[in-house]
Amino acid sequence: MNYIKERNELIITLKNKGITSEKVLNAIAKVPREIFVTDKYIDKAYDDISLPLFLNQTISQPYTVAKMTELLDTFANCEVLEIGTGSGYQACILAELGCNVFSIERISELNAYARIRIEKLGYNIQLKVGDGTLGWNNTKKFDRIIITAAAPAIPETLLSILKPNGILVIPVGNRDKQEMTKIIKTETNNLTIEKHNFFKFVPLIGKEGWK
């Protein structure tokens, strides 16, 4: 099954919900979400809902992926750090947009699950297992940072590795509800904060997240 009809219907749904970026919509139209969901939920791959994976993790609702990607406002060859690889779907959307993607997952089984799917689609994405709240390493900085888990506050380490003119997108709140937050760092390292809608994510576990 090629899911072309279902994929096109999803794009219409996302447009109706306010997603306006054509490049984001085109990326979502090209990346096959059915590869990332588990077999149990394959018939719901293009429903605009989050779906269970395993170990209490989920693949995000397509609208959430689209909204976060739109807020991230990427450009060709920008270096993006993703915290929370999950299924690998969000990372592939970013790679389809022409970004150089580095993605950290704390659960090794999910890292392996994502790696298989990413390699099957042929995207060149750097993956590692670790505490994403601490960044990729001690020195690397990024043009964009996206956190796909709920944080109690914005991790200071991640802010410190965001380049000037960079953007960080993160859901911030309690374990039940979070506000999508966009942080823009100016050339002089000042921060502008925007807040966009409420969402519900699995918790960000780590030294600068939930314990």
Q: In this structure, is residue 144 part of a structural domain?
A: yes
Catalytic hit among 60, 87, 108, 160: 60
Q: In this structure, is residue 172 part of a structural domain?
A: yes
CA nearest to 54, candidates 87, 32, 20:
87
pTM of the prediction?
0.95
| pLDDT digits 0-9 by tens, 104-140 | 999 999 999 999 999 999 999 999 999 999 999 988 9
Residue carrying the six token digits 């297992």: 129
| pLDDT digits 0-9 by tens, 144-169 | 999 999 999 999 999 999 999 999 99
Q: Range of 163's domain?
A: 4-199
**Pairing mode of beta strands 58-59, 100-105:** unpaired
Token digits for 27?
């990326």
Q: In this structure, is residue 62 part of a structural domain?
A: yes
Q: pLDDT > 70: what percent of the chain?
A: 100
- Look up the CATH number of the domain holding residue 57: 3.40.50.150
How many Cβ atoms from other residues are within 10 Å of residue 124's Cβ? Answer: 9
Q: Could you give the CA distance from residue 75 to residue 120 in angstroms, rounded to a whole number?
A: 24
Q: In this structure, is residue 183 part of a structural domain?
A: yes
Q: In this structure, is residue 125 part of a structural domain?
A: yes
Q: Quick check: is 160 catalytic? A: no
Q: What is the number of domains present in the chain? A: 1
Q: In this structure, is residue 210 part of a structural domain?
A: no
190 falls in which pLDDT band (50, 70, 90)? very high
Does 1 score more than 80 pLDDT?
no
Q: In this structure, is residue 211 part of a structural domain?
A: no
Helix, strand, or coil here: 159? helix
